[in-house]
Structure 1
């Protein structure tokens, strides 16, 4: 019987689609892209939704919070399900079931119905965990960080590409005679149907592991039956390294979501940019995920080859600290040119830090990669929620004080004072967040691996490379 190790990919040859790991890489990356595309698909249409459903500002903000909240719980659950049932079935059901609220949001008639749909649409954000799990068990230690980072970058790309893609779908819908003001409804239905069809593709064209599906492997005795699943999950919860990575991912992916979610207004208020120009800048940084996250995984693998598992942790520490410094320096910039330089540097380092995080995750506990990926992935959304809440409260207080102090002046003067106050509050918030990221970077040095872990990974890497002929 050939071992699973002999079928793992030791290189990321993207054109070798005849290889099961590479085919799985492409399918899971595309599925992830579609999930994020659908998850954030409503964002470009929010002005239309507000007019159509009569949403209040509070309801609009609540819909954003609910979408993130649903993802946190879904990520925690899906990781454990992956360990038990395998990524193939989990992704199939997530795509098909997750497509239902995406389709239903096109039929909502009240703000409450809209909020409920946004909550359940957030569940498809758990696709990140399955993607990381599937690539983790398809690729050998020498390349797993690069594979994880590249596939994850596709998902984040989907979250930015919807700014271009969804309006194009809406335009196509309108060309068939649909009224422009309700085109958003049809566009969401189209996105949901695409996600549902992708679920069928995942079921028929992927396998759980290079050796086959979990169910078949357990029947043949090639994979142990998880009789003590609860104990295994408990051991994950007790591992301090998992919670350090939880905070680390909050400090990178969470901060990316928060910063880019507030950057449009910040660029307008601080540097006087138009909304269109600010939006295009933020979109360009989202598109950097195509390569930046891959770089994080690549260098994680390089450091791993040179210094073992400890090397992966060292690189994560370095790149996370760089992220925090770039954000803090950007927050103090008063020149647009200097600001953009450090904003680009922040975008590059934060996405590299995300890739570096998941070059470490697969080595914490190989028997519970799904559970660990779920917990760490949830950390990103928790970080985004807390950071957004911090900036919102800080900004609201500053704006209120500015309006009260300038209430005796004209409306234009009050608005100008409000913009200045908001920019100053967010700037100070970014600086504090940057310091938090730097402190978090230092905590990663507490992540330790035993000599037995180091030896096992080195032997697996040597065996995989030998069996693949070093390719």
Structure 2
């Protein structure tokens, strides 16, 4: 009988659309982009939503928390489902059913309905886990870090592109005679329909692995690890390395979400920028995902070739430490020019750290890549939540004290004092977070791999590269 050989891609040949791994790479990256676009699609319209639905400041803040909270739960669940049913079906169902709350958001009439929709829209943030799982099993060890990082980085662009894309959709809707104040409703419906359509595309144009779909491979007896699924998941939960990576991803992706979510106001309060300039700067940093996260995966693969699996961990620790240092230095700068230099450096290193994290993930437990991706991915959202709560609490205390101390000096004096207090509080929060990130870098060095794992990874790289060479 002819031995079945792997057909994982050993190169990221982006124009080779005849290759199933490359075709899957493109489709999963686009699906991820659309999910993030829809997940944060309402953000540019929040002033209109507040006015239309009469949201209080508390309700507005709660909507942000609910969106993140829903993602944590969904990421933990979806990784386990990917291991059992495969990424193709999981992504299809996530896109199709995730489109429902996106569409319904366009029809809400009360603050409660809005909050419920935001909670369930957050579930599509689990798309990240499926994307990382799918590229992990489509690409060989020598290139998997780069593939993971690139697909994730390009997908993350959806979270920034909506700042431009959603207003353009709204403008197109208005051109058809729709009132400007309710254009946000039509825009969300359109975003939901796009999500639903992408689910159909995912089902018909991808497959779970280079060799076929999970269902067929299981019937043919080519995936015996599925029979040990429960044991693999139990071992995943007990593996200390998974929880270190959970902590690490909280220190990179989680911090990126929080920093960019608060950066608009900080740039205005700290450096006196107007809202439009501050918003454009933050958007430009988000667009660095086009290449920065890919660099993290690339150098993770490079260190892996030079130093084995341990090399991937070493690079992760180095780039995390650099990220923390850049954020802490930025937090104490008072010059706009110097601040921008270190903010750019932070943006580059934080996204590279995200790519480096998922150049390590595929090698922790090959039978539970989905579960591990889900747990680590959830760590990002937990980190974002905790960092946001830290900044919110520090800012609230400082602003309240400033208002009380200057209440007799007039409205302008109170506003100026409040602005200064907010900037100082967030600055100190950023500094503390930078220290937390450096601590995560040190902790990441505790990730170890058995000699047998190192040998398997080396053999896979040599085997896949040899097969690639033979195919030419």
- TM-score if structure 2 supplies the norm length? 0.99
Q: Are the equivalent residues in 2 in contact too, given 1:4–1:210 (CA < 8 A)?
A: no
Instruction: Assess, with a 3 A threshold, how the Cα gap between structure 1 residues 368 and 56 changes in structure 2: closer, same or farther.
Output: same
Counterpart of 1:102 in structure 2 is: 102
Counterpart of 1:404 in structure 2 is: 404
Counterpart of 2:262 in structure 1 is: 262
Q: Secondary structure at the match of 2:469?
A: coil
CA distance in 2, matches of 1:56, 1:2: 67
Counterpart of 2:197 in structure 1 is: 197
Map 1:275-354; keep pairs closer than 5 Å. Answer: 275-354=275-354
CA distance in 1, matches of 2:170, 2:422: 33
Number of equivalenced pairs: 471
Q: For each residue in 1:346-388, what CA deviation from the matched residue of structure 2 results, as whole angstroms up to 9, or x when unmatched?
A: 0000000000000000000000000000000000000000000
Q: Are the equivalent residues in 2 in contact too, given 1:6–1:468 (CA < 8 A)?
A: no
Counterpart of 2:271 in structure 1 is: 271
Q: Secondary structure at the match of 1:15?
A: coil
Shift of residue 223 of structure 1?
1.2
CA distance in 2, matches of 1:176, 1:276: 27
Map 1:26-425; keep pairs closer than 5 Å. Answer: 26-224=26-224, 226-425=226-425
Q: Are the equivalent residues in 2 in contact too, given 1:39–1:125 (CA < 8 A)?
A: yes
Q: Are the equivalent residues in 1 in contact too, given 2:398–2:425 (CA < 8 A)?
A: yes
Q: Secondary structure at the match of 1:325?
A: helix
CA distance in 2, matches of 1:242, 1:4: 31
CA distance in 1, matches of 2:4, 2:337: 52
CA distance in 2, matches of 1:184, 1:120: 18
Q: For each residue in 1:22-54, what CA deviation from the matched residue of structure 2 results, as whole angstroms up to 9, or x when unmatched?
A: 000000000000000000000000000000000
Shift of residue 408 of structure 1?
1.1
Q: For each residue in 1:138-169, what CA deviation from the matched residue of structure 2 results, as whole angstroms up to 9, or x when unmatched?
A: 00000000000000001210000000000000
Instruction: Assess, with a 3 A threshold, how the Cα gap between structure 1 residues 5 and 258 changes in structure 2: closer, same or farther.
Output: farther
Q: Are the equivalent residues in 1 in contact too, given 2:315–2:356 (CA < 8 A)?
A: yes
CA distance in 2, matches of 1:436, 1:141: 31
Instruction: Assess, with a 3 A threshold, how the Cα gap between structure 1 residues 141 and 3 changes in structure 2: closer, same or farther.
Output: farther
In structure 2, runs of 5+ residues without a counterpart are: none
Instruction: Assess, with a 3 A threshold, how the Cα gap between structure 1 residues 397 and 206 changes in structure 2: closer, same or farther.
Output: same
CA distance in 2, matches of 1:415, 1:390: 22
Q: Are the equivalent residues in 2 in contact too, given 1:5–1:464 (CA < 8 A)?
A: no
Q: Are the equivalent residues in 1 in contact too, given 2:225–2:367 (CA < 8 A)?
A: no
Shift of residue 225 of structure 1?
6.2
Q: Secondary structure at the match of 2:226?
A: coil
Q: Are the equivalent residues in 2 in contact too, given 1:105–1:114 (CA < 8 A)?
A: yes
Shift of residue 407 of structure 1?
1.0
CA distance in 2, matches of 1:124, 1:340: 33
Q: Are the equivalent residues in 1 in contact too, given 2:128–2:377 (CA < 8 A)?
A: yes
Q: For each residue in 1:74-94, what CA deviation from the matched residue of structure 2 results, as whole angstroms up to 9, or x when unmatched?
A: 000000000000000000000
Instruction: Assess, with a 3 A threshold, how the Cα gap between structure 1 residues 370 and 4 changes in structure 2: closer, same or farther.
Output: farther
Q: Secondary structure at the match of 1:360?
A: helix
Shift of residue 228 of structure 1?
3.8
Counterpart of 1:440 in structure 2 is: 440
Q: Are the equivalent residues in 2 in contact too, given 1:250–1:384 (CA < 8 A)?
A: yes
Q: For each residue in 1:399-444, what CA deviation from the matched residue of structure 2 results, as whole angstroms up to 9, or x when unmatched?
A: 0000111111010000000000000000000000000000110001
Q: Are the equivalent residues in 2 in contact too, given 1:5–1:460 (CA < 8 A)?
A: no
Shift of residue 3 of structure 1?
6.2
Instruction: Assess, with a 3 A threshold, how the Cα gap between structure 1 residues 416 and 3 changes in structure 2: closer, same or farther.
Output: farther
CA distance in 2, matches of 1:338, 1:5: 54
Q: Secondary structure at the match of 1:9?
A: coil
Q: Are the equivalent residues in 2 in contact too, given 1:323–1:346 (CA < 8 A)?
A: yes
Counterpart of 1:455 in structure 2 is: 455
CA distance in 2, matches of 1:430, 1:70: 25
Q: Are the equivalent residues in 2 in contact too, given 1:55–1:111 (CA < 8 A)?
A: yes
Shift of residue 2 of structure 1?
6.7
Instruction: Assess, with a 3 A threshold, how the Cα gap between structure 1 residues 350 and 96 changes in structure 2: closer, same or farther.
Output: same
Q: For each residue in 1:196-216, what CA deviation from the matched residue of structure 2 results, as whole angstroms up to 9, or x when unmatched?
A: 000000000000000000000
Q: Secondary structure at the match of 1:190?
A: helix
CA distance in 2, matches of 1:11, 1:226: 28
